[in-house]
Amino acid sequence: MLGEDHSLINEFPEYQTVIVKLSQNDPAFLKDASRYNALDKEIRELELNGAPIDDEAMHLLKHDRAELKDSLFQRLKSE
């Protein structure tokens, strides 16, 4: 669905406490989570504005977001 919020908290509500804890105590996690949420916001805004970029660029943004999401999820699970 276009414009859907895929922020880290929305994707993993069951890990909300862990997300907050890691964001406060792990600078690397905070950096990656911030990058993930920024990518998600950029993608959402592009989708809502009719994606004024080419398909390949949009695909790359979504790919980068998915890789970060997988990495962040692995870190959440290990806590």
Q: Look at residue 3 and tell me if it is in a domain.
A: no
User: Which residue range forms the structural domain that includes residue 43?
Assistant: 8-78
pTM for the complete prediction? 0.88
> How confident is the prediction along the chain (79 residues), in pLDDT tens digits per residue?
567 889 999 999 999 999 999 999 999 999 999 999 999 999 998 888 876 788 899 999 999 999 999 999 999 999 9
CA distance 22 to 75: 9
Q: Look at residue 27 and tell me if it is in a domain.
A: yes
Q: Please tell me the predicted confidence (pLDDT) of residue 48.
A: 86
Q: Look at residue 28 and tell me if it is in a domain.
A: yes
- Token pair, residue 40, equals 């998600």
What secondary structure does DSSP assign to 9-34, as a single string? HHH-GGGHHHHHHHHHH-HHHHHHHH
CA distance 41 to 56: 18
